[in-house]
Amino acid sequence: MPKVAYLGPAGTFTELAARQLGKDAELIPVASVTEAMDQVVSGKAERAVVPIENSIEGGVSATSDALAQMAGVQIYGEYLVPVKFDLMVRPGTKLSDIKEVLTHPVAYAQSRKWLQANVPGHTHIPAASTASAANSLATGKLADAVIAATGASKIYNLEILASDIGENKEAQTRFIEIGKAGKPQPKTGSDKTSVIVELPDDRPGGLLEMLEQFAARGVNLSRIESRPVGDRFGRYRFNIDAEGHLEDEAIAEALMGLHRFSPKVIFLGSYAKADKSSSEHQGNNTNTSYHAAKKWLDELRG
Amino acid sequence: MPKVAYLGPAGTFTELAARQLGKDAELIPVASVTEAMDQVVSGKAERAVVPIENSIEGGVSATSDALAQMAGVQIYGEYLVPVKFDLMVRPGTKLSDIKEVLTHPVAYAQSRKWLQANVPGHTHIPAASTASAANSLATGKLADAVIAATGASKIYNLEILASDIGENKEAQTRFIEIGKAGKPQPKTGSDKTSVIVELPDDRPGGLLEMLEQFAARGVNLSRIESRPVGDRFGRYRFNIDAEGHLEDEAIAEALMGLHRFSPKVIFLGSYAKADKSSSEHQGNNTNTSYHAAKKWLDELRG
Amino acid sequence: MPKVAYLGPAGTFTELAARQLGKDAELIPVASVTEAMDQVVSGKAERAVVPIENSIEGGVSATSDALAQMAGVQIYGEYLVPVKFDLMVRPGTKLSDIKEVLTHPVAYAQSRKWLQANVPGHTHIPAASTASAANSLATGKLADAVIAATGASKIYNLEILASDIGENKEAQTRFIEIGKAGKPQPKTGSDKTSVIVELPDDRPGGLLEMLEQFAARGVNLSRIESRPVGDRFGRYRFNIDAEGHLEDEAIAEALMGLHRFSPKVIFLGSYAKADKSSSEHQGNNTNTSYHAAKKWLDELRG
Amino acid sequence: MPKVAYLGPAGTFTELAARQLGKDAELIPVASVTEAMDQVVSGKAERAVVPIENSIEGGVSATSDALAQMAGVQIYGEYLVPVKFDLMVRPGTKLSDIKEVLTHPVAYAQSRKWLQANVPGHTHIPAASTASAANSLATGKLADAVIAATGASKIYNLEILASDIGENKEAQTRFIEIGKAGKPQPKTGSDKTSVIVELPDDRPGGLLEMLEQFAARGVNLSRIESRPVGDRFGRYRFNIDAEGHLEDEAIAEALMGLHRFSPKVIFLGSYAKADKSSSEHQGNNTNTSYHAAKKWLDELRG
């Protein structure tokens, strides 16, 4: 029975993601991303499951930064959980009572059509996230309703007045499965490789140069998130998901290029993509092409 | 007496920034970034002042996203406010009582030396931001102390046990001055130009291509922040600060290149840099070079 | 009756090209490329016709260099003349007498199959060009036969033993029509623009940077020929044909980029392509895209 | 006593270059570049010496093309021979008799100052090369004098009226030493690597992509010469000299990149540079950087 720490409390989407690790997993809710990762580093849990990205609100900075700062961990898998937006209120509030709707601007844009038809004359109050909106509604007197992901109703003790009111039915949150640093997962042909790359600060075109390390080997990026290094303005590191596996020569040569280029590059793992799409490199960037080139070089060198 | 809306409450760093607009400004604290911007759009205030970036914790997503979604606004200036980290407690807590310190990991790293010397044996609990740490300490039973920016003590009614304990004395927050869209500020020779650029989603190397629009004209970027467009994974827009002014031909040609390349590009303004450093383009990217090239072309065309 | 100077003598392919200028042209054979161009500069002829490139043997250095060094000329058109390779001998030589075949290696490769079938046991002697081969055969005792373009038999008084023996039936020579510098030909939608660009010598990646001036505007190159500047090793200029017309904004912006980048750029003209294929730029590099971007910029500048 | 075939006749600059191979070499003059290389392939000579480039007139196409088409050879060294320009006449012509001066335009430009002072009122007739000018003067009635390299006087039986009249005293011709394909020369730290790369013809930006293979590894090019593949217009291969040795990892990775990218790449050898300047790669492209990156990769792969 492997132990899996996850960002709690119970009832959140993270728990749904953690359940995807298997029926026999023992789930341990914890209070923060770093605490979840600490459980893994200290050996109290085999795995940790934390959110990394939301298709509406963007990257989860706490996770991005923890991956950059905690040594000894690696990503072993990813899981997607669909996000349904519901209209929630404090218990007792009726649809006709709603004057102010609190939520993240993108979630509001997603729900505007439904609200115009069903809550005419309402006002939108923007919030930093749908979760903070739910928290504010539950604890304060701000607004009359929130648009938030279904799980928030249980956490903040809110009542759902209408379900799945968003236009984009494909909104989702992505979670990662973290374990102790070790050998990457075996290659499946549908893999991604995650790295964190700090830009050198002695030249202006650093980001361009970094991206060329991938482009020169035909490696596509499915995600790129900028984060400050934190010592002063203008210094960034990038959290990157690249298509392909460490066993792919295109990835290997790109990683070596990053190692030479960057003052600090962190390999976070190669693992199967949740969407199962192919990650094989094309054209002259296949392993076949790389191996033929290496053979030719070895012959030249004699 | 111009009216200036700012992200309140009074006593925050944002108020310090807003005061830099002039002694005769009438300051109006508001509850959110979008509310501050609304005041400008609706004509209730001439200017709004909101935080855009912190050298420790990174970009302020709420501001980045509001700039992408609200039409009719423009940036007219920027202001820097130094950030000092203090050790704060609930009133009554003594230094010797402190067992757990709650704060953002980067702020913790900044203060580690002081803490090791003065609070031996403490434990660090990571928080998403220094402000949320202060909020949590004030409202709950979590932890015994926080590391936060000085202003937080007044907002959350905390007591400062030690001042300016961070190693990096240059931590600061950057604020922008927002007004109704109009003619940009005059060129000073020390200017920056802010834009938001959505990447086309029909090709893998979109970010590389976008950066080349700047690089091909010798334009350096002082800030680049990725944000999700919000409709599905893998779609990004970038909030960018480029060195130079709309009146600089290198900037003008880069902007036209972005307009041709991007499905959506938003011009946010050209304005004086807070640090007064030169923004003149060099080598073959000076206005002189551009004007000579244009004259030559006009002659060829007859 | 316009006067047209051409690289003589009569009977060469150049005369065939010059005849394409019109039935009423008065053709004037001259002894060298520069003499032909001199006729235009001095006003003795309206046009000059000279070879610029052969699909088998490459660029004609004399023409490339003359275009770089003579001021006051411009290209107004191009003409293609198919090249057929014939087996030629000194009058009296029979097929069975042939032991050594003198010709350019590429022309030899083109004719190898025919020769293996019809002149078994022969030896190939390489020559610098098919014309020099014909000249050597005619004037000396070297070899027994040459492979050369049909026109050479008349010029060097050789006898054709077999016609059109090359495998590639598409071999051809390209000629340009030169006039005094002036307004370019009108845009047809099937145009090319010729320039000569000297590379700056103060940086290693000069050629890459030059090509990026075209690539950044989606301009394809149909020809690129390196030539030494002539003052010392490692200094090059490039003779370039780009797809499109001076009236195309993609070409205009690329030319201005070259003007800023290069110590010396020479505009040689925009003119109709001989093969009539489209030269319109695609995607975000159409004139429509450029004009929309310019309009947007003008509005921003107010 | 190694046998060295060289492009004759005796008395040319090529003989001077061939003598640099050592006093005990037995020099064998031959009639063409390909004949010289044939001597090596057939084992009749150990080495061949042929011209590859002239700082005034550019690349020697016959040598470039022979290297592309003859299998089994490799470059083992290079030699520089200074070129002095002399004023030559048919025996008996006096300085005061000279009205027309025949020579290559660049050689003429080099000598213009001297001619204006010493042969006022003369006319320049351009020639394709200084050697062809000397040949024309010797055999025909064209012109009264030529400007040519010293060696031409002996070959064409001309009389030198004035020596070393060129302005640029650094004009020179570069020769290469060819042997049977084998192990490259040992690395000296001052090396060049020569390759021939055919561009793929299925994409417009082929040349840009090829150059990026070098640029991405910080490899500078000292020479790039375009040559037609010969089957149709618009298809090129490039003869390239790159700084560094096959044992340098930057060169090795660039070569493997070319092998993957190009339909045909020919390795011509790594050998010591004649000018002894350093060819060590800098910054993150040193062998130390490459080896550290490879070690890191191997550890990640476990």
Q: Is A43 exposed, middle or buried (0-12, 13-18, 19+ CB in 10 A)?
A: exposed
Residues 6+ apart with CB under 8 A from D23: none
What's the rounded Cα separation, in Å, for the pair C27 and C17? 11
Tell if the CB–CB gap between C300 and B267 is shorter than 8 Å.
yes
Return the higher-pLDDT residue of B214 and A110: B214
Tell if the CB–CB gap between D105 and C65 is shorter than 8 Å.
yes
Given this model, what pLDDT does residue A59 score?
A: 86
Tell if the CB–CB gap between A220 and B204 is shorter than 8 Å.
yes
Among A207-211, B48-52, D169-173, which is the least confidently predicted range? D169-173
Contacts of A216 in chain D (CB under 8 A): 212-213, 216, 257
- Contact call for residues C256 and B294 (beta carbons, < 8 A): yes
Q: Is the pLDDT of residue B236 over 90?
A: no
DSSP designation for C199: P
Contacts of C215 in chain D (CB under 8 A): 205, 208
Structure confidence by residue, pLDDT tens digits, B103-147: 877 788 889 899 999 999 898 887 767 887 888 888 876 789 999
- Contact call for residues D148 and D85 (beta carbons, < 8 A): yes
Q: How many helices (H) and strands (E) does chain A have?
A: 9, 15
- Contact call for residues B294 and C255 (beta carbons, < 8 A): no
| For residues A49-71, average pLDDT | 88
CA distance D242 to chain C (A): 11
Task: Tell me what percent of the residues of chain D surpass a pLDDT of 90.
Answer: 64
Please report, as a single letter, which amino acid is at residue D115: L
Return the higher-pLDDT residue of B65 and C296: C296
- B and D interact (at least 3 Cβ pairs within 8 A): no
Can you read off the two tokens belonging to residue A86?
């519901």
pLDDT category, A136, cuts 50, 70, 90? confident
Task: Tell me what percent of the residues of chain C surpass a pLDDT of 70.
Answer: 99
Q: Which of B246, B260, B287 to probe by mutation at the C interface, max C CB count within 10 Å?
A: B260
pLDDT averaged over every residue in chain B: 91
Closest by CA position to D37, among listed D73, D79, D89: D73
Given this model, what pLDDT does residue D189 score?
A: 97
Task: Tell me what percent of the residues of chain D surpass a pLDDT of 70.
Answer: 99
Structure confidence by residue, pLDDT tens digits, A61-85: 889 989 998 899 999 999 999 988 9
Residue B60 to residues B33, B213, B224, C3, D203, Cα–Cα distance (Å): 10, 26, 12, 73, 42
Contacts of B253 in chain C (CB under 8 A): 253
Closest by CA position to A27, among listed A51, A52, A46: A46
Sign of the dihedral through C-alpha A37, A41, A42, A43? positive
**Which residue of chain C is at minimal alpha-carbon distance from D167?**
C231
Tell if the CB–CB gap between C184 and B300 is shorter than 8 Å.
yes
Given this model, what pLDDT does residue C67 score?
A: 95
CB atoms within 10 A of CB B140: 9
For C272, list phi and psi in degrees, rounded to 5.
-70, 140
pLDDT averaged over every residue in chain C: 91
pLDDT category, D256, cuts 50, 70, 90? very high
CA distance C19 to chain D (A): 22
Q: Which of D233, D240, D277, D285 to probe by mutation at the C interface, max C CB count within 10 Å?
A: D233
Question: What is the predicted ipTM?
Answer: 0.88
Compare CB distances from B230 to A56, A207, A234 and report the shortest one's residue.
A56
Compare CB distances from B212 to C216, C301, C302 and report the shortest one's residue.
C216
- C and A interact (at least 3 Cβ pairs within 8 A): no
| For residues C239-261, average pLDDT | 97
Q: Which of A106, A123, A142, A213 to probe by mutation at the B interface, max B CB count within 10 Å?
A: A106
**Which residue of chain A is at minimal alpha-carbon distance from B216?**
A205
Sign of the dihedral through C-alpha D54, D58, D59, D60? negative
CA distance B263 to chain C (A): 10
Compare CB distances from C231 to D168, D174, D226 and report the shortest one's residue.
D168
CA distance D273 to chain A (A): 19
Q: Is the pLDDT of residue A44 over 90?
A: yes
Q: Is the pLDDT of residue C106 over 80?
A: no
| For residues D99-113, average pLDDT | 85
Contacts of A260 in chain D (CB under 8 A): 284-285, 289-290, 292-293
Subunit partners of chain D (3 or more CB pairs within 8 A): A, C
CA distance A300 to chain B (A): 34
Q: Is the pLDDT of residue C72 over 90?
A: yes
Return the higher-pLDDT residue of C124 and B174: B174
Helix (H, G, I), strand (E, B) or coil at D243: strand
Given this model, what pLDDT does residue C130 score?
A: 83
Given this model, what pLDDT does residue A261 score?
A: 92
pLDDT category, B169, cuts 50, 70, 90? confident
Return the higher-pLDDT residue of D168 and B178: B178
Structure confidence by residue, pLDDT tens digits, B51-93: 999 887 788 888 998 999 899 999 999 999 998 899 999 999 9
Tell if the CB–CB gap between A255 and D285 is shorter than 8 Å.
no
What's the rounded Cα separation, in Å, for the pair A78 and A52? 9
Tell if the CB–CB gap between D224 and C226 is shorter than 8 Å.
yes
Given this model, what pLDDT does residue B139 score?
A: 80
Structure confidence by residue, pLDDT tens digits, C157-182: 999 999 999 988 888 899 999 999 99
pLDDT category, B274, cuts 50, 70, 90? very high
Sign of the dihedral through C-alpha D151, D57, D200, A291? positive
Task: Tell me what percent of the residues of chain C surpass a pLDDT of 90.
Answer: 64
Three-state SS string over chain B comes to: CCEEEEECCCCCHHHHHHHCCCCCCEEEEECCHHHHHHHHHCCCCCEEEEEEEECCCEECHHHHHHHHHCCCEEEEEEEEEECCEEEEECCCCCHHHCCEEEECHHHHHHHHHHHHHHCCCCEEEECCCHHHHHHHHHHCCCCCEEEEECHHHHHHCCEEEECCCCCCCCCEEEEEEEEECCCCCCCCCCEEEEEEEECCCCCCCHHHHHHHHHHCCCCCEEEEEEEECCCCCCCEEEEEEEECCCCCHHHHHHHHHHHHHCCEEEEEEEEECCCCCCCCCCHHHCHHHHHHHHHHHHHHHC
| For residues C278-283, average pLDDT | 94
For A39, list phi and psi in degrees, rounded to 5.
-55, -35
Largest CA distance in chain B: 83
Q: Is the pLDDT of residue D202 over 70?
A: no
Structure confidence by residue, pLDDT tens digits, C205-230: 889 989 999 998 999 999 999 888 87
CB atoms within 10 A of CB B157: 12
| For residues C129-148, average pLDDT | 84
**Which helix H or strand E contains A46, and what residues bound it?**
none
Compare CB distances from A293 to D184, D260, D289 and report the shortest one's residue.
D260
Contacts of A247 in chain D (CB under 8 A): 301
What's the rounded Cα separation, in Å, for the pair C16 and A236? 64
pLDDT category, A201, cuts 50, 70, 90? confident
CA distance A193 to chain D (A): 12
Given this model, what pLDDT does residue A202 score?
A: 65
Among A114-128, B150-164, C184-198, which is the least confidently predicted range? A114-128
What's the rounded Cα separation, in Å, for the pair A137 and C20? 83
- Contact call for residues C177 and C79 (beta carbons, < 8 A): yes
What's the rounded Cα separation, in Å, for the pair B200 and B198? 7
User: Which of the given ranges, A111-115, B50-54, C255-259, has the highest pLDDT on average?
Assistant: C255-259
Given this model, what pLDDT does residue B202 score?
A: 65
Contacts of C228 in chain D (CB under 8 A): 53-59
Given this model, what pLDDT does residue A46 score?
A: 97
**Which residue of chain D is at minimal alpha-carbon distance from A255?**
D297
Given this model, what pLDDT does residue D213 score?
A: 92
CB atoms within 10 A of CB D205: 17
Among B186-190, B256-260, C133-137, which is the least confidently predicted range? C133-137
pLDDT category, B158, cuts 50, 70, 90? very high
| For residues B222-251, average pLDDT | 90
What's the rounded Cα separation, in Å, for the pair B15 and B6? 7
**Which residue of chain A is at minimal alpha-carbon distance from B219?**
A204
Q: Is the pLDDT of residue C202 over 70?
A: no
**Which residue of chain A is at minimal alpha-carbon distance from D290?**
A260
- Contact call for residues C173 and C27 (beta carbons, < 8 A): no
CA distance D59 to chain C (A): 8
| For residues D282-299, average pLDDT | 96
Tell if the CB–CB gap between D290 and A256 is shorter than 8 Å.
yes
Contacts of C34 in chain D (CB under 8 A): 105, 126
Q: Is the pLDDT of residue B96 over 80?
A: yes
Q: Which residues of D touch A (CB under 8 A)?
A: 182-184, 212-213, 216, 246-247, 252-253, 255-257, 259-261, 267, 284-285, 289-290, 292-294, 296-297, 300-302
Residues 6+ apart with CB under 8 A from B28: B3, B4, B5, B6, B39, B45
Tell if the CB–CB gap between B293 and C259 is shorter than 8 Å.
yes
Residue B69 to residues B187, B197, C214, Cα–Cα distance (Å): 27, 12, 35
